[in-house]
Amino acid sequence: MEPSMTTSRRTLTPVSRETLQSRVYEQLKQAISGGVFVPGEAVTLRRLAESVGTSIMPVREAVNRLIAEGALDIMPNRTVIVPRMTSAKFEDLTRLRVMVEGEAALRACYRVTTEMLSELEKINEEVLRHSKANEIHEALKANRDFHFTIYAAAESEVLSRVIEMLWLQVGPFLLFSMNLPAARWTTKHHLDILRGLRSADPVATQQAIVADIKETAQQLLEIGVFAHSSSRTAEPAALSVESKVGR
């Protein structure tokens, strides 16, 4: 006997508008913090909707949320762009990252598990493999996964939210840390982080995270990818890495 239409309907769980919007928001958030978009790049709702496979409405809602969080900027002509940044602002964000991510790493060290260490080692191998193959966006994604796996272990919702906010702003610039041969990632700091976690040494783990953040920040400051003024229309120095939307 075939089920009635009424019975069939009871087995379905409608996808709410809020759920779809949240999924789109998470996808865009990870793309921005993972360096998929170039600073100063204009992004259209239609293009984003095509990339994530939805209608424009949930994308518009997610974009408005990201604008409010400072991850995207809206120009006077209503064009939405990935914000540019001055070196002074980047240095301020780096100082905050050192404090907040260092604290998260320290806390994570007290909660590390064998399974977590194994997962981190695998992710770090992915970072190195993609970096050697010049698969920039894949390497950046793996790098983000490495860091956020550690920060999640800190089990602090407050720290996690602050760290996500910081990465939303600096993420697009991390793209350029792999743009020069001298800036190729060797994952040496990641190995130091793993050693600190493995030996349950919170200070060593914290120091390794801080060293990783500071070295990358210094490379970015040296290669000149920041805007010359705080003006929205200020042009940054040469930007030569293209983004891959929808990756």
**Which of 35-44, 104-113, 158-167 shows the lowest per-residue confidence on average (mean pLDDT)?**
35-44
pLDDT at 244: 40
- Going from N- to C-terminal start, the domains of the chain cover 17-81, 87-223
Supply the pLDDT for residue 152.
97
Separation of alpha carbons 72 and 64, rounded Å: 8
pLDDT confidence bin for 212, thresholds 50/70/90: very high
Mean pLDDT score, 31-55: 89
Percent with pLDDT over 70 in the chain: 81
For residue 15, name the pLDDT band (cuts at 50, 70, 90).
very low
Amino acid at 154: A
Query: Model confidence at 178, in pLDDT bands (50, 70, 90)?
Result: confident
- Whether the predicted pLDDT of 45 surpasses 60: yes
Would the pLDDT of 241 be above 70? no
Per-residue pLDDT, 167 = 95
Helix segments in 53-178, DSSP class H: 56-68, 87-109, 114-132, 136-153, 157-174
Length reported for the chain: 247
Q: What is the 3-state secondary structure (H, E, C) of 171-203?
A: HHHHHHHHCCHHHCCCCHHHHHHHHHHHCCCHH
pLDDT at 184 over 70: no
| Architecture of domain 87-223 in this structure | Up-down Bundle (1.20)
pLDDT band, very low/low/confident/very high, at 214 (cuts 50, 70, 90): very high
What are the pLDDT digits (tens) for 68-108?
A: 999 999 888 888 999 999 999 999 999 999 999 999 999 99
Asked if 94 and 173 count as a contact pair (C-beta separation under 8 A), the reply is: no
pLDDT over 70 at 182, yes or no: no
Of residues 179 and 207, more confidently modeled: 207
17-81 CATH pick, 3.90.226.10, 3.30.429.10, 1.10.10.10, 1.10.3720.10: 1.10.10.10
Task: Name the residue among 74, 60, 40 with its Cα closest to residue 227.
Answer: 40
Q: Which residues contact 12 (CB under 8 A, 6 or more apart)?
A: none
Check for a shared fold between 17-81 and 87-223. Answer: no
Nearest to 172 by CA among 12, 32, 4, 14: 32
198 bridge partner residues: none
Q: Which amino acid is at 92?
A: D
pLDDT for residue 13 is more than 50: no
Q: How confident is the model at residue 18 (pLDDT cuts 50, 70, 90)?
A: low
Angstrom distance (rounded) from CA 180 to CA 116? 32
pTM for the predicted model, two decimal places:
0.81
Structure confidence by residue, pLDDT tens digits, 50-67: 888 888 999 999 999 999
Range with lowest mean pLDDT among 109-118, 173-182, 217-226: 173-182
- Apex CA 164: angle with CA 50 and CA 237, to 5°? 75
